[in-house]
C-alpha cells in the first residue's frame, strides 16, 4: 500500500511520527511518502521536530509559508495536487486541524484518492476558530476517521458520518509523548534555564483571539506578571506571539518583563521536560491540554471552549476563559495545592499507531478485491 502522510505545522509532527515509524517497519507491505507543506518553516517550528522525533527528511517539501487563510490554504492545494498526481497513493493521511490538513484532504479528495484523518471528530462548536472549520470540512472529505475519544465518535455520528468510517484508535500525540518521555527526562533544558521540578509555571499562548488583540494580550501578559510574583513564569513564545508582544510594546528581547521569562519556542524533547516538571501550565494550545493530562500536571486553558473536553472530565485541565482576573485567581488556587490530578483517557497509550496501521490494512483488504476486479475489467 502506498501512503502519503502530510504534515505542515508544529503540532502535526508528533502526530505523524509514530504512524510513519510503524509503516517504515514493514517496507515489504507499505511505501510511505512523507510530505511537509512548509506551513511552519522556522528551524524552531519545524527542523527541530524532525530531528527530535527521528522523522526522515520529507520526500516533498512544498514551501508554502505564511499568508492569509485563503492564501495559505490555496498554496497547499496548488502545491499538493501535483504530488498526488505524481505519487498516485492508495491513501492520503492528514492529521490535526491546521490549514494544511484541510487543503491536503481537499486536493486528494478531488482526485478521488481516499483520505484518512487522524484526530477526527473533535469539535469546539465555535466556528470563529479557523481550526473548527478545518475539522468539520476535513472530516466530511474523509474515508477513514481515526478518533482519540468517545465524544469525537459521538460528534461524527451526530453529523451523519457512516459508522464504518469511524475508528476509535486513541491519541498518536500521546504515543509520541510516551515514546520520548525517557529522553526528555535527560534533557538539560532545566539546568540551562535554572529551573527545578515544581518551581516554575510554563506558558504557551498563540491563538489569534488571545494574541492578535492588543487589549487581550496586554491583559493576559499582565496576569502572567502577577503570577510571576509568586512563581517564576517561563514562556516559550510562538513566533506569532513574539511578533505581537513586540508590536504592542509589551516585551522585547532586551526588555525582559520581570519574572516572566519569554523565550523562543523550544524543541519537542526540551518542551516535554518543561511540561513534565512544571508546577502549573497555562496555555491555549490543543496539544498541551492533552499532554498535561497524561503528565498529571495541572493545566489552565485560556479559552472560552475546548474541542478536547475529555481533558477536563478525566484530565488535569480547567477551562478558565480569557479574563485575566480569573486566570490569576485560578493560578493561585493551583499554587495553594488545589490543582487537578486527573486520570488517563481510554486508549491514550503507546499502541495507537499500531491500531491505525491495523485498521488501514483491514480497510485495504476489504477494498482491494473491488479495485482488483475493476482493474481486471478495465484491462
Residues designated as active site = 206
Minimum CB distance to ligand UD1, residue 352 (Å): 20
243 half-sphere exposure, CB direction, 13 A CA radius: 7
The distance from CA 140 to its chain's CA centroid, rounded to whole angstroms, is 20
Q: How far apart are CA 359 and CA 26, in angstroms?
A: 15
Instruction: Work out whether 173 is an interface residue with ligand UD1 (CB under 6 A).
Output: no
User: Which C-beta is closer to ligand UD1: that of 97 or that of 330?
Assistant: 97
CB 252 within 8 A of CB 246: yes
CB 167 within 8 A of CB 146: yes
Instruction: Work out whether 105 is an interface residue with ligand UD1 (CB under 6 A).
Output: no
CB 154 within 8 A of CB 268: no
Instruction: Work out whether 286 is an interface residue with ligand UDP (CB under 6 A).
Output: yes
Q: What count of other Cβ atoms lies within 10 Å of the Cβ of residue 341? A: 9
Window 224 to 253, contacts with ligand UD1 (CB under 6 A): 238-240, 243
Stretch that binds ligand UD1, among 26-34, 39-47, 187-195, 244-252 (CB under 6 A): 39-47
Of the candidates 287, 298, 324, 345, which one interacts with ligand UDP according to CB under 6 A?
Answer: 287
Q: How far apart are CA 367 and CA 379, in angstroms?
A: 18
CB 298 within 8 A of CB 292: yes
Instruction: Work out whether 98 is an interface residue with ligand UD1 (CB under 6 A).
Output: yes
Of the candidates 10, 21, 244, 303, which one interacts with ligand UDP according to CB under 6 A?
Answer: 10
Distances (CA, A) of 351 to 39, 81, 171, 257: 29, 32, 9, 43
14 binds, among ligand UD1, ligand UDP, none (CB under 5 to 8 A by kind): ligand UDP
Q: Is 9 left (phi over 0), alpha (psi -120 to 50) or beta?
A: beta
* Site map (CB under 6 A) of ligand UDP, residues 217-246, x = contact: -------------------x----------
User: Which C-beta is closer to ligand UDP: that of 21 or that of 363?
Assistant: 21
Task: Tell me which H or E stretch contains 50.
Answer: helix 47-52
Cell of 301: 486553558
User: Which C-beta is closer to ligand UDP: that of 114 or that of 265?
Assistant: 265
Instruction: Work out whether 137 is an interface residue with ligand UD1 (CB under 6 A).
Output: no
Q: How far apart are CA 72 and CA 97, in angstroms?
A: 14
Window 290 to 349, contacts with ligand UDP (CB under 6 A): 291
Instruction: Work out whether 321 is an interface residue with ligand UD1 (CB under 6 A).
Output: no
Q: What count of other Cβ atoms lies within 10 Å of the Cβ of residue 288? A: 24
DSSP annotation string for 302-349:
-SS--S-THHHHTSSEEE--S-HHHHHHHHHHIIIII-----PPTT-S
Instruction: Work out whether 279 is an interface residue with ligand UD1 (CB under 6 A).
Output: no
Window 259 to 278, contacts with ligand UDP (CB under 6 A): 265-266, 268, 271
Using CB under 6 A, list all residues that contact ligand UDP: 10-11, 14, 173, 204, 236, 265-266, 268, 271, 285-288, 291
Using CB under 6 A, list all residues that contact ligand UD1: 9-11, 39-42, 45, 66, 72, 97-99, 130-131, 206, 238-240, 243
Amino acid at each position: 500500500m502506498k501512503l502519503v502522510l502530510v504534515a505542515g505545522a508544529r503540532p502535526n509532527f508528533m502526530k505523524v511520527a509514530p504512524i510513519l515509524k510503524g509503516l517504515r517497519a514493514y517496507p515489504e507491505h507499505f511505501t510511505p511518502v512523507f510530505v511537509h507543506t512548509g506551513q511552519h518553516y522556522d528551524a524552531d517550528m519545524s527542523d527541530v521536530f524532525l530531528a527530535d522525533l527521528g522523522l526522515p527528511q520529507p520526500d516533498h517539501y512544498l514551501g508554502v509559508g505564511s499568508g492569509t487563510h485563503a492564501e495559505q490554504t490555496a498554496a497547499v492545494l496548488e502545491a499538493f495536487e501535483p504530488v498526488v498526481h505524481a505519487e498516485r497513493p492508495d491513501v492520503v493521511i492528514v492529521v490535526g486541524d491546521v490549514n494544511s490538513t484541510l487543503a491536503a484532504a481537499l486536493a486528494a479528495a478531488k482526485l478521488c484518492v481516499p483520505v484518512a484523518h487522524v484526530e477526527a471528530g473533535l469539535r469546539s462548536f465555535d466556528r470563529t476558530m479557523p481550526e473548527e472549520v478545518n475539522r468539520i470540512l476535513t472530516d466530511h472529505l474523509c474515508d477513514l476517521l481515526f478518533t482519540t475519544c468517545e465524544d469525537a465518535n459521538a460528534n461524527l455520528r451526530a453529523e451523519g458520518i457512516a459508522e464504518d468510517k469511524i475508528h476509535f484508535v486513541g491519541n498518536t500525540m500521546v504515543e509520541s509523548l510516551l515514546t520520548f518521555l525517557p529522553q526528555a527526562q535527560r534533557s538539560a533544558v532545566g539546568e540551562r534555564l535554572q529551573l527545578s521540578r515544581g518551581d516554575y509555571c510554563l506558558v504557551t499562548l498563540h491563538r489569534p483571539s488571545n494574541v492578535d488583540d492588543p487589549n487581550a494580550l496586554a491583559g493576559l501578559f499582565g496576569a502572567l506578571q502577577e503570577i510571576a510574583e509568586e512563581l517564576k513564569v517561563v514562556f516559550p513564545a510562538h513566533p506569532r506571539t513574539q511578533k505581537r508582544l513586540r508590536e504592542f510594546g509589551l516585551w522585547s528581547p532586551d526588555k525582559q518583563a520581570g519574572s516572566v521569562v519569554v523565550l523562543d519556542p523550544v524543541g519537542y524533547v526540551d518542551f516535554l521536560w518543561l511540561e513534565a516538571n512544571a508546577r502549573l501550565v497555562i496555555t491555549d494550545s490543543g496539544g498541551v491540554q492533552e499532554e498535561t493530562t497524561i503528565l498529571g500536571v495541572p493545566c489552565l486553558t485560556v479559552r472560552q471552549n475546548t474541542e478536547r473536553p475529555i481533558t477536563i472530565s478525566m484530565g488535569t485541565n480547567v477551562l478558565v476563559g480569557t479574563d485575566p482576573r480569573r486566570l490569576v485567581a485560578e493560578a493561585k488556587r493551583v499554587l495553594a495545592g488545589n490543582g487537578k490530578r486527573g486520570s488517563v483517557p481510554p486508549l491514550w497509550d503507546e499502541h495507537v499507531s499500531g491500531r491505525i496501521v491495523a485498521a488501514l490494512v483491514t480497510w485495504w483488504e476489504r477494498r482491494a478485491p473491488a479495485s482488483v476486479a475493476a482493474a481486471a475489467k478495465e484491462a
